Each structure stands twice: as structure tokens, then as C-alpha cells.
């Protein structure tokens, strides 16, 4: 210990000498007649493919009652020219599709007239429509530049996955993806244990380099549940249909063919029951061949499996509804929608939003009635031994195992915070032991 104290004293003295030398140095004298010339860097502002500094920029949103014609008329464009613009642009964009609340931008001339020369409409954060009438009239659609940033995250469960991600300042979309897209059939996220932990490699999406647009995808994940490891790797099995599945480290599919429910975070308000009696109808038996999931109006309704839409329609009893044929054996139906989001003949993937919860048709409250057919007969989906999702083909299996090798190595090299702290503590203990041994040796001498 005497040796350690001596070392600390020597280091302290040397630092003091160094500080005194630095403080005694003469500061450079200013030249009496020197003049500082500040060169201001001119930064041009580009958006939608235009140099905004060349225009007077007017930004607004579509108001109720607004039309393309009214917007241009308010900004000094006459109806003959408006008609000409609409005719030339109609093959690219139907100006009747302007939605209330969506942003638009007018690029106006930098003169006393300040006449609009270009109209830009944004139906969403990524896409935009340009109707340019500076010289010749032309219209086109385009996308804002997208940047994808790969990130890694580790966490330890204290109460729930949502609470853990919230404490880490991460989007809840990541929790939904892990709970519903990846581990829905492997881990019950309502019964996680304190001490369960996870590692995830995911990609965040940014528009124009700075506007956060949410979690794009999860590349790979590792979940340690009850001390048992669960790996998951994203892999495209059908590029033509864009089908992406998650498989474990042995190439086994983590999904089942069907989701447990067509809406997230809902409750079953009425089960499949062929002997149901309803007081309203004189306590008569009125079979209920569906399963009702109560949810707020506007909650997205998800396709429970891949398939083709065979009906997207309305009847007095069903209200607005959608029916999907999944294969020769299974079909599903979703009733009482507020609005539908798919058309007949459209191929949908598991988890796609096909509509929104409503109260159309014969219903006493907001919910989706989920109906399930097996071999043409309506059955209770909760009592079926549902098939697993399609296994990876033999031709793709070797490709998959090679594909995940570097990703697994990357995942395995990510350290949990508690493991990193433990490694640092162990290294400090080892260093302390070495110093004590050296101190004892010097004392003996």
C-alpha cells in the first residue's frame, strides 16, 4: 500500500508542474492593425427537387371546402389557366383526391406579382405530387429521400416489454413488432418474467435525413425468456409476393399460419357459441358463428393470414365486411367495419390492415366479428389445431443458414449492460490484485 501511495503522490506532483508550465506560457499578442474578415457560407435550401431560395414559398394545409381551383384562385391564378392546368395534369394526378389536413406548398415568383409557378401536394410524409406550370405544364409524382439507419438495442424486463422500451426512449412500434410479428407464437408477452432480456438489431427510417418516420424493420433479435434463448432472423421467402418471415437459428419458422386475433390489444367480448340465447329475441337460441373482439372505433383490423380477398362489400347484417380465402381449406371473414381497405382479387399478407373497427350492420357496440371457415364450414378458430406457417424450402435452407452467419455473430457480440458492468468490475478486481502483488514484492525487497 506504501508503494501505491508513492505512485499517486508522484503523479499528482507531475500534474501540478505541468499545469503551472502551461499557465505561464505567454498568450499570443494581437496584431494592432489586423482585421478579421468573416466569410459567411451560403447554404442553399433544396426540397422537392427545387432550390427554395429561387421562390417565395407558401405552405398550407388543405382546409374543408378547399379545391385545387379555389386554392389557385386565392393565389391570383385565373380559371382559364386553372382549367388548362387540370387537363394537362389529370393523367398523373386526380386533383379531386386532395384530402383535408394534408400539406401543400406553392412556389411563387420572386417579383411584385408573386404568382404561383408550382403546386406540390403531400398525401403522406414520403410521397409528393408536383404540378409545375412555370413554362409548359407538366405533373409527376416522386418520393422524398429516405435514409435507413441500423441500430442495436438491449433491455432487461422489469414489468413489461412496453415499459422497458419506454424507459429506453424507443418507439412502441418496436414492441409491437417483437410481440406480434416475431415472437407471437413463441413467447407470451403478457407473461414475461422480471430478468427476461433481449437484444435486437433494427432499422429506423428518416425522411430528408432528419424527419423520424418510425421503425422500418427488425433484422434480427435474441430473447432470453425463463433462461431459454430464442433467436429470430428476418428472411424473404418469396420475392415475387414480398413475403418475409422470421426463422430461428435452425431455420424453423417462428410463425403459425394464422394470427390469434385480427386486432391488437383487444378482448374477446363474445365467443363462438351455437347454443347462444339472447333475451332481446325472447331467449331463443340464436347461434353465434363468430368470435367478437371488442375494440375502439378506428382500430386497424389485420388479415390473420396470407390470402386473396374474395369479398369486400356491405350487407344489412354484416355491415361493411371483408372475406379472405387463404387456401383450399381455410377462409376468414371480418364484419362491422367502419371502412374497408382492400378490394376483391387483392393479395394480402398476414398483418396487413384490411379495414378499421366500426359499428356498421347489426351490432350493439364497436367490435369486429371474426368468422373462420374450414372446408366450407364455419368453426371456432380457438378449437382448431391450426397449421404452422410454411416451412422454409430445402432449396432455401442452406442459403438461409449461410445468410444468418454474420448476423448471428453481430447479435452475439452485442453485450447486455449488466454483462459489460460485470466484465469491467472483474477487470478492476484483477488489476487491483496485480497492484497488491507488486506492492508486496517491493515491500519484501
Domain ranges of the chain: 46-143, 146-247, 267-383
Kindly report the CATH class assigned to 146-247. Answer: alpha beta
| Angstrom distance (rounded) from CA 84 to CA 69 | 11
E-state strands within 157-270: 197-207, 211-225, 228-238, 243-247, 267-270
Tens-digit pLDDT profile for residues 233-252:
999 988 777 778 899 999 98
Superfamily for the 267-383 domain: Glucose Permease (Domain IIA) (2.70.70.10)
Q: Could you tell me whether strands 347-348 and 377-379 are parallel, antiparallel, or unpaired per DSSP bridges?
A: unpaired
The reply to whether 267-383 shares the fold of 146-247 is no
| Angstrom distance (rounded) from CA 360 to CA 234 | 38
pLDDT at 255: 80
pLDDT at 337: 96
pLDDT at 414: 93
pLDDT at 217: 92
Which regions of the chain are under pLDDT 50?
Answer: 1-8, 10-13, 15, 17-22, 24-29, 31-32, 34, 280
Fold of 46-143: Nuclear Transport Factor 2; Chain: A, (3.10.450)
Closest of 295, 298, 296 to residue 356, by C-alpha: 298
Structural Rg of the chain based on CA atoms: 32
pLDDT at 401: 95
Here the cell at position 26 is 505567454
Amino acid at each position: 500500500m506504501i508503494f501505491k501511495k508513492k505512485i499517486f503522490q508522484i503523479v499528482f506532483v507531475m500534474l501540478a508542474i505541468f499545469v503551472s508550465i502551461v499557465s505561464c506560457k505567454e498568450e499570443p499578442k494581437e496584431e494592432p492593425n489586423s482585421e478579421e474578415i468573416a466569410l459567411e457560407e451560403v447554404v442553399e435550401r433544396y426540397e422537392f427537387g427545387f432550390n427554395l431560395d429561387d421562390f417565395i414559398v407558401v405552405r398550407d394545409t388543405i382546409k374543408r371546402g378547399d379545391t385545387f381551383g379555389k386554392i389557385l384562385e386565392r393565389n391570383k391564378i385565373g380559371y382559364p389557366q386553372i382549367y388548362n392546368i387540370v387537363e394537362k395534369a389529370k393523367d398523373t394526378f386526380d386533383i379531386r383526391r386532395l384530402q383535408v389536413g394534408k400539406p401543400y406548398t406553392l412556389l411563387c415568383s420572386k417579383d411584385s406579382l408573386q404568382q404561383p409557378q408550382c403546386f406540390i401536394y403531400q398525401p403522406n410524409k414520403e410521397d409528393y405530387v408536383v404540378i409545375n406550370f412555370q413554362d409548359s405544364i407538366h405533373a409527376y409524382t416522386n418520393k422524398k429521400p429516405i435514409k435507413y439507419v441500423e441500430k442495436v438495442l438491449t433491455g432487461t424486463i422489469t414489468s413489461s416489454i412496453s415499459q422497458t422500451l419506454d424507459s429506453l426512449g424507443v418507439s412502441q412500434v418496436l414492441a409491437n413488432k417483437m410481440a406480434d410479428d416475431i415472437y407471437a407464437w413463441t413467447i407470451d408477452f403478457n407473461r414475461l418474467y422480471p430478468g427476461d432480456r433481449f437484444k435486437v438489431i433494427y432499422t429506423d427510417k428518416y425522411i430528408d435525413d432528419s424527419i423520424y418516420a418510425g421503425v422500418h424493420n427488425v433484422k434480427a433479435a435474441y430473447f432470453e425468456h425463463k433462461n431459454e434463448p430464442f433467436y429470430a432472423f428476418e428472411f424473404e421467402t418469396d420475392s415475387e409476393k414480398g413475403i418475409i418471415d422470421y426463422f430461428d437459428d435452425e431455420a424453423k419458422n417462428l410463425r403459425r399460419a394464422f394470427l390469434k386475433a385480427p386486432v391488437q390489444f383487444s378482448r374477446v367480448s363474445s365467443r363462438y357459441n351455437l347454443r347462444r340465447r339472447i333475451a332481446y329475441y325472447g331467449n331463443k337460441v340464436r347461434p353465434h358463428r363468430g368470435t367478437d373482439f371488442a375494440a375502439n372505433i378506428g382500430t386497424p383490423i389485420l388479415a390473420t393470414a396470407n390470402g386473396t380477398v374474395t369479398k369486400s362489400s356491405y350487407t344489412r347484417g354484416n355491415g361493411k365486411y371483408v372475406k379472405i380465402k387463404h387456401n383450399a381449406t381455410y377462409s376468414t371473414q371480418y364484419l362491422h367495419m367502419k371502412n374497408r381497405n382492400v378490394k376483391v382479387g387483392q393479395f394480402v399478407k398476414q398483418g396487413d390492415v384490411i379495414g378499421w373497427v366500426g359499428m356498421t350492420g347489426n351490432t350493439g357496440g364497436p367490435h369486429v366479428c371474426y368468422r373462420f371457415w374450414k372446408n366450407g364450414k364455419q368453426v371456432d378458430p380457438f378449437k382448431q389445431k391450426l397449421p404452422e406457417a410454411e416451412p422454409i424450402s430445402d432449396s432455401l435452407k442452406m442459403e438461409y443458414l449461410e445468410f444468418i452467419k454474420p448476423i448471428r455473430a453481430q447479435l452475439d457480440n452485442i453485450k447486455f449492460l449488466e454483462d459489460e458492468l460485470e466484465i469491467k468490475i472483474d477487470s478492476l478486481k484483477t488489476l487491483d490484485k496485480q497492484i497488491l502483488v507488486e506492492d508486496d514484492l517491493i515491500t519484501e525487497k
